[in-house]
Chains A and B, each alone.
Chain A
């Protein structure tokens, strides 16, 4: 039961982008050394770029 609630909460966080920075850190940790990745961004800086990126294309419909 607790696990279900936890998974549900995790899904909501991921859907809304609440954990986007944490996922970014994880992605960076996983791929950081192998690729030529830019230096790690701060939470503020990352959120700015992430939010701008979200609205580049067609994201909402009729």
Chain B
């Protein structure tokens, strides 16, 4: 009894602290606020949501059954189906879902101020993203670990399945293009960054050879050597940067760097996984976990002040980083970290085949997403501890603020954010870069934010080293996503083509491998190329497109979940997934509508294309801009049709799902639930395997 009272008091205190922290950040109108308030609010909200909402979903909505044997137990084959300790599964799952997305989105969305993005990251994760991940994991576990596409086909119909498949493929293309663009922008005219990123390729190959031939299977030993080499390459990059003879080899414009990434992406998709992809992934996973942990420790030690206002004037849609009003674009810009459809592909497929018991689903599905959301909060902190003037100087494309430093500073000052040319020059010098103006894409500004946090916490004289460490850290796992994504795209394409020509569907048939890899690389390579030649930086077009696509996939996953809930006779609980679904439908449809029909040339694709056509026709464009204008016009049209396609796919799936639900509720025949029957678990609850 005493124990119970104590628990109630503790949870009441957590709720009170969370509410207090949240009101502190939301109502603050002073000069600055401490980052610790954001951390406190986040941790309290996560704790409450996990303890009460997630537990309630597990017990009442999904009705988790601890006595039921999981697919890992029933189909245990020692390979993909293996009953695994929940912490190990959590580690695998988190490493799989947390990519560069939660670092980039919040950085870009910081143009609205720290408050809108932070609120969406917190609310979106606990009510949307974590719910999506958890229910998808549950439904897939009940279906032998079937993929989202298969579940959509089994439960809703062929249309839903096909839509999920095409949606996944399209997202992959857009995602890889925008990530490639982020890396290009980080390396542009930075010999230090370029040489360090380039060095990661031979390092990964060496580690691959080491694990394959020198000491087979010694993964940790090889990774330790690899991480040391990576850290050394950051140091060596500094020497190259200081050497007049060497630095010219790594000092490039965006376009050659983009071509290099395209060639690299093709090579990575065609080469065997052990040589490049697998070893790179080991290194990037260790770097990712280590750096995120380091950042969390540094923020807690340092407790930096946030300098960005709570809300900026750019909520009206005039923001320099990307055009569009707060609603709906903050919800599109921050996908990963709040709700990310891509996670549904991990939650169905790999993870359910490892679960030892259904009771682990809450911790792995819901818990891992909360941790990713926390990473997004840290990215938001790293972006907003910068002086707003500096933040906008780094992230505003030359097409908006002008290409000369004086123009850019004047423009940013006119918005009411103080920054000087000297300040930016000094900052660039401190970070070991030639210039930090118009370094769009989010990576450089995140690196500056991280470097200043790390620098203050662990030694200020090492700023340049910290900056390039942060760039290397971002680049290495962006490139892992790029490699892995290209490969997955290739597999999907081969799978589809296999329906028409059996030979093309064979994943080991070399001509097919080369052909399909080339198509996938050409797909994202095109968008990357356009992004680089676009004077507005390209990120402002590609990132919203990626956000819309990712949210569309999330909506498909929530459609499948809602359909299954209704068909299982749980109509009264269907709001758990239907509510986030409705919200996603509203924001993606609104965003897509605006991207297509808006008259604002910084928002609407057609408006931008028409504006550029008119300028081209009247001859007011300078020669270099006129040369690329036709390609940009074509691309704006293409993007508009692509957006229409995404929305159409989304609505087709929704109508399909609603029709299935309506038929079921009227007592008509629908596809039967594909849940496998209950088999009693034989695993002793106390006996933890391995």
**A58 and B346 within 8 A (CB):** yes
Given A27-B78, A62-B100: A57 in contact with B350 (beta carbons within 8 A): yes
Tell me the complex Cα distance, A11–B79, Å: 18
B residues within 8 A CB of A48? 212, 274
List residues of A (37-56) whose CB comes within 8 Å of B's CBs. 43-44, 46-48, 50-56
User: Which residues on the B side are within 8 Å of A57 (C-beta)?
Assistant: 349-350, 488
Bound CA–CA A41/B485 (angstroms): 30
- Could you tell me if A55 and B220 are in contact, using CB atoms closer than 8 angstroms? no
Of B317-325, B337-345, B648-656, the one contacting chain A is: B337-345
Contact digits for B387-427, partner A, Cβ 8 Å, 1 yes 0 no:
00000000000000000000000000000000000000000
Q: Is the CB of A61 within 8 A of B219?
A: no
Give the interface size class of chain A. 20 to 34
**Is A59's CB within 8 Å of the partner chain B?**
yes
Given A61-B342, A62-B101, A62-B342, A14–B88 Cβ distance below 8 Å?
Answer: yes
B273 at the interface (CB under 8 A from A): yes
Does A11 contact B219, Cβ atoms closer than 8 Å? no
Partner of B223, one of A10, A16, A54: A16
Residue of A with least CB distance to B104:
A62
Q: Which of B297-343 contact A (CB under 8 A)?
A: 335-336, 340, 342-343
Q: Is the interface of B mostly helix, strand, loop or mixed?
A: helix
Q: Does B97 contact A (CB under 8 A)?
A: yes
Q: Which residue of A lies closest to B286 (CB)?
A: A16
Within the complex, what minimum Cβ distance (angstroms) separates A56 from chain B? 8
The minimal Cβ–Cβ distance linking B683 to chain A, given in whole angstroms, is: 13
Chain B: which residue is nearest A23 at the CB level? B690
What interface size band does chain B fall in? 35 or more
C-beta contact mask, A17-31 vs B, less than 8 Å → 1, else 0? Answer: 110110110011001
Which of A16, A31, A44, A62 is within 8 Å of B219, CB to CB? Answer: A16
Contact B217 A58 (CB under 8 A): no
B217 in contact with A53 (CB, 8 Å): no
Assess whether A60 is in contact with B99, with CB atoms less than 8 Å apart. Answer: yes
| 5 cross-chain pairs, A with B, having the tightest CB-CB distances, nearest first | A27-B78, A62-B101, A47-B217, A60-B484, A18-B219
Q: List 27 A-B contacts (CB under 8 A).
A: A14-B84, A14-B85, A14-B690, A16-B219, A18-B218, A18-B220, A20-B217, A24-B78, A28-B78, A43-B216, A43-B217, A47-B217, A50-B79, A50-B217, A51-B273, A52-B274, A54-B273, A54-B278, A57-B350, A59-B96, A60-B281, A60-B481, A60-B484, A61-B336, A62-B100, A62-B101, A62-B179
